[in-house]
Amino acid sequence: MTVEVALEQAEWMVDQAGFSGVVSVQPLSGGWDNTNLRLDLDGGTSLVLKIWEAQKSLDDVQTVIQRHTWIEKHGVPTTVPVMLESGGRFAVRNGVAWTLLPYVSGGHLGSDTMSLKSLGAVMARLHEMPPAECFPHDYRMGWSLFERMFALADESGGWSDFLVVLREESSRLRGCIPDNLPQGVLHGDLFPDNVLGDGEVAAILDFEEAWIGPRAFDLVMAFVGFGWDGGQPVGKRWNALLSGYESVRSLTKLERVALPTLYRYATLSIAAWRYWKHVMSEPDEVFEGRYLEMVDRLGVEFDFMEEFD
């Protein structure tokens, strides 16, 4: 989703932070819910304008900003909204929060070995920082979303083949994931459009889905996001993520055994979110089949344990 913003509107926003002279407004790639625009100013400064259309309340926006602030405070690279002259970090226009973020050059992180080792190491540092109240224990794209989808299917009588599979698969997985896996602060959606960098991580973006959960879940979610090429998982990419991660924190034996189950849960979560977004919540003929990519992956085996043999 991208909202068109005129120069006058962008100027209104940068004025809130004591800047001026917007010369161009350009949409940035990545993201499905909120608009992200690059603002170029006189003198060469660039900022990112983020318009939070997807957040149901301003309190939700404040909570996500608190997460970014906490994460940056503990040494994990991210982008924190610029402080405005009002003393807050967002302005409100037509009931929607607008923020200004530092612009990070270099584009989205690649899937080469160096980049993925860097991502693994940064991820491990994220997992080891202390939790805070702004991080929930519920994963918005996981079990609770599945239950919402099932309830809606009951109400409408619209039990598609995918929803039947989702119910059966999620019921099985839920009983297979150990309750005593090491917990930490997770990003929850580590796909290339949420990580910036050129050869190494410069910033992890968009902590809307962040939660406190099994640390190894984030590692396999990163493999869902970065580890596939041409419809097949790439072992070299998994090895790079794992190597980077274990350079900071070693997985426990229990986590290693749980990797295939957590990976299946992560893949299923992305399939469910795409189905919810493009089929159930905001039907879109262009994107309604995106969930099938993840459904197909559920039928492909991958040996996570080979690296530990």
Domains and CATH numbers, the chain: 7-102 (3.30.200.20), 113-308 (3.90.1200.10)
Lookup: tokens for 270: 């992305």
Task: Tell me how far apart the alpha carbons of residues 202 and 107 are, in angstroms, rounded to a whole number.
Answer: 10
Q: Note whether 207 and 74 are within 8 A (CB).
A: no
The answer on pLDDT for 226 being more than 70 is yes
- Mean pLDDT of all residues in 255-270: 98
**270 band by pLDDT with thresholds 50, 70 and 90:** very high
300 — pLDDT class (breaks 50, 70, 90): very high
Residues 277-304 have a mean pLDDT of 95
Would you say how long the chain is, in residues? 309
Question: What are the residues whose beta carbons fall under 8 Å from the beta carbon of 23, sequence distance 6 or more?
Answer: 40, 41, 42
Q: Is the pLDDT of residue 218 over 60?
A: yes
Q: Helix, strand, or coil here: 176?
A: coil
pLDDT bucket at 30, cuts 50 / 70 / 90? low
Cβ count within 10 A of residue 8 = 8
* Residue 92: its H or E element: strand 91-93
What distance in Å separates the CA atoms of residue 32 and residue 277, rounded to the nearest whole number? 9
pLDDT at 29: 77
For residue 106, the model assigns a pLDDT of 85
pTM of the model: 0.95
Residue 285: Cβ within 10 Å count: 7
pLDDT, residue 309, reads 61
Token representation of residue 116: 């993925």
Mean per-residue pLDDT, 259-284: 96
The CA distance from 157 to 83, in Å, is 48
- Separation between Cα atoms, residue 129 and residue 69, nearest integer Å: 13
Residue 186 β-bridge partners = 211
pLDDT in tens, 132-182: 999 999 999 999 999 999 999 999 888 999 999 999 999 999 999 999 999
Q: Tell me the C-alpha distance between 68 and 108, whole Å.
A: 18
| Residue 32: per-residue pLDDT | 66
Residue written as tokens 């986590």? 255
Band (pLDDT 50/70/90 cuts) for residue 2 is low
Nearest-angstrom CA–CA distance, 156 and 178: 34
The residue-averaged pLDDT of 250-273 equals: 97
Question: What is the SS3 assignment for 233?
Answer: strand
Q: Is 216 in a helix, a strand, or coil?
A: helix
At 43 the pLDDT is: 87
Average pLDDT for the chain: 95
pLDDT recorded at residue 3: 73
Check whether 203 has a pLDDT greater than 60: yes
Non-local (6+) Cβ contacts of 272 within 8 A are 141, 145, 146, 149, 166, 291
pLDDT band at 56 (very low <50, low <70, confident <90, very high): confident
Question: Hunting for tokens 């209104």 — which residue is that?
Answer: 12
Does 274 score more than 90 pLDDT?
A: yes
User: In the prediction, which pLDDT does 146 show?
Assistant: 98
Residue type, 1: M
What is the rounded average pLDDT of the residues 101-117?
Answer: 95
Classify residue 301 as exposed, middle or buried by CB count within 10 Å of its CB (0-12, 13-18, 19+): exposed
Q: What is the mean pLDDT of residues 239-264?
A: 97
How far is Cα 241 from Cα 247, in angstroms, rounded to an integer? 10
Contact 22, 11 (CB under 8 A): yes
Model confidence at 186: pLDDT above 70: yes
Question: Do the Cβ atoms of 245 and 123 come closer than 8 Å?
Answer: yes
The average pLDDT across 191-210 equals: 96
Q: Within a 13 Å sphere around the CA of 183, how many CA atoms are in the beta-carbon half? A: 16
